[in-house]
């Protein structure tokens, strides 16, 4: 009798654990569709979300929760074929005129041409920190993981676990850093053929519409901000970085640094920190710090 009771208890624990695990990546639970008049859809019992764009409208969603620091993953499969003129975005943003923002944007392409991955960081309403990359795979053929690590010391953009960009906290050099405004996750698919593909020279081919991008496997190891307080506690983030919150003090090790250098050497196509024509009065302060990447 004791053995059968134990068996039932184990089965119940496994069942409820599976429910908990599933709930961590369910679009019904984690996100609200915010615009698109039916063009955004949550499918497969909440495990898949698709955004679509046609000539009348694009579509978008945002997270139900706000975060103040996090390690966030999302898998995306981008628009196949001729996606020229379209932009698929996945980003964090706060509200207000002095907002903070951390951007992934995927600029559409002509068939056979590479997608451009556009990244940017805004702090206190100021951006102009663009870095752009080609990818070392076809992002339309399958899902790939795009990650943002945001802690008090740094922001790291990663693709399939490979770091491609780091923006460090250089407040000591007078560079504002996003650290005090909670941000939601946003994503949208829209027409930007005035600038997205080859500077706007290639327009959207509406005969290819609807254009569709897909999302799955969202994961958030993050400090949720609600009613003026953080789920990581009232202590400073660094003092809370034990156990499951080790990402709050995570840094790139030497292997990560080498992988990031490899990506930047072989796949970076634009870096604002080398664009002296754009900044005739001098490059931004963070660009002159030797440790900046």
Q: What is the pLDDT of residue 122?
A: 97
Ramachandran quadrant class, 32 (left: phi over 0; alpha: psi -120 to 50; beta: rest)? beta
- CA torsion 129-135-140-143 (nearest 10°) is -90
A 10 A CB-CB count for 66 gives 19
| Catalytic hit among 101, 130, 171, 286 | 101
What whole-number distance in Å separates Cα of residue 20 and Cα of residue 40?
25
| Catalytic hit among 66, 105, 166, 286 | 105
Cβ neighbours for 10, distance < 8 A, ≥ 6 positions apart: none
**Does the active-site annotation cover 130?**
no
Q: What is the pLDDT of residue 237?
A: 46
What whole-number distance in Å separates Cα of residue 35 and Cα of residue 49?
14
| Confidence bin at 288 (pLDDT 50/70/90) | confident
216, 214, 204, 195: which is closest to 52 by C-alpha? Answer: 214
* Burial status of residue 291 (CB atoms within 10 A of its CB: 0-12, 13-18, 19 or more): exposed
Q: What is the pLDDT of residue 24?
A: 52
Q: What is the mean pLDDT of residues 1-6?
A: 48
39 SS3 class = coil
pLDDT one-digit tens code per residue, 173-200 = 999 999 999 999 999 999 999 988 888 8
What whole-number distance in Å separates Cα of residue 190 and Cα of residue 242?
40
Q: Say if residue 251's pLDDT is above 90.
A: yes
Q: Say if residue 240's pLDDT is above 60.
A: no
* Burial status of residue 179 (CB atoms within 10 A of its CB: 0-12, 13-18, 19 or more): middle
In this predicted model, which residue has the larger pLDDT, 2 or 199? 199
Q: What is the pLDDT of residue 13?
A: 38
Q: What is the pLDDT of residue 290?
A: 55
State how far Cα 258 lies from the chain centre: 22
Q: Which of 15-29, 73-87, 92-106, 198-212 has the lowest mean pLDDT?
A: 15-29
- E-state strands within the chain: 31-35, 41-43, 48-53, 59-63, 66-77, 86-93, 101-107, 116-122, 131-133, 144-151, 154-159, 162-168, 184-191, 211-226, 229-230, 268-271
Average pLDDT, rounded, for the chain: 89
**Does the active-site annotation cover 105?**
yes
Q: Read off the pTM.
A: 0.88
pLDDT one-digit tens code per residue, 84-100 = 999 999 999 999 999 99
């Amino acid at each position: 009798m004791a053995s059968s009771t134990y068996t039932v208890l184990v089965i119940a624990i496994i069942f409820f654990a599976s429910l908990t695990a599933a709930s961590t990546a369910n679009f019904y639970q984690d996100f609200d569709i915010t615009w698109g008049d039916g063009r955004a859809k949550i499918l497969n019992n909440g495990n898949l979300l698709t955004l679509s764009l046609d000539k009348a409208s694009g579509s978008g969603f945002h997270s139900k929760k706000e975060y103040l620091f996090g390690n966030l993953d999302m898998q995306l499969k981008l628009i196949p074929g001729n996606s020229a003129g379209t932009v698929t975005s996945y980003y964090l943003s706060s509200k207000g005129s002095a907002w903070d923002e951390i951007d992934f944007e995927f600029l559409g392409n002509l068939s056979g041409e590479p997608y451009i991955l556009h990244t940017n960081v805004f702090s206190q309403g100021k951006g102009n920190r663009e870095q752009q990359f080609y990818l070392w795979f076809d992002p339309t053929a399958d899902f790939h993981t795009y990650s943002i690590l945001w802690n008090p010391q740094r922001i790291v953009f990663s693709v399939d676990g490979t770091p491609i960009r780091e923006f460090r906290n250089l407040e000591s050099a007078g560079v504002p850093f996003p650290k005090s405004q909670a941000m939601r996750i946003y994503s949208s698919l829209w027409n930007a053929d005035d600038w997205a593909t080859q500077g706007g020279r290639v327009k959207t081919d509406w005969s290819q519409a609807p254009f569709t991008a897909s999302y799955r496997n969202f994961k958030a190891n993050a400090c949720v901000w609600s009613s003026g307080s953080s789920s990581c506690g009232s202590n400073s983030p660094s003092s809370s970085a034990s156990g499951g919150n080790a990402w709050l003090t995570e840094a790139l090790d030497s292997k990560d640094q080498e992988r990031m250098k490899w990506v930047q050497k072989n796949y970076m196509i634009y870096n604002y920190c080398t664009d002296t024509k754009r900044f005739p009065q001098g490059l931004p302060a963070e660009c002159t710090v030797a440790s900046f990447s």
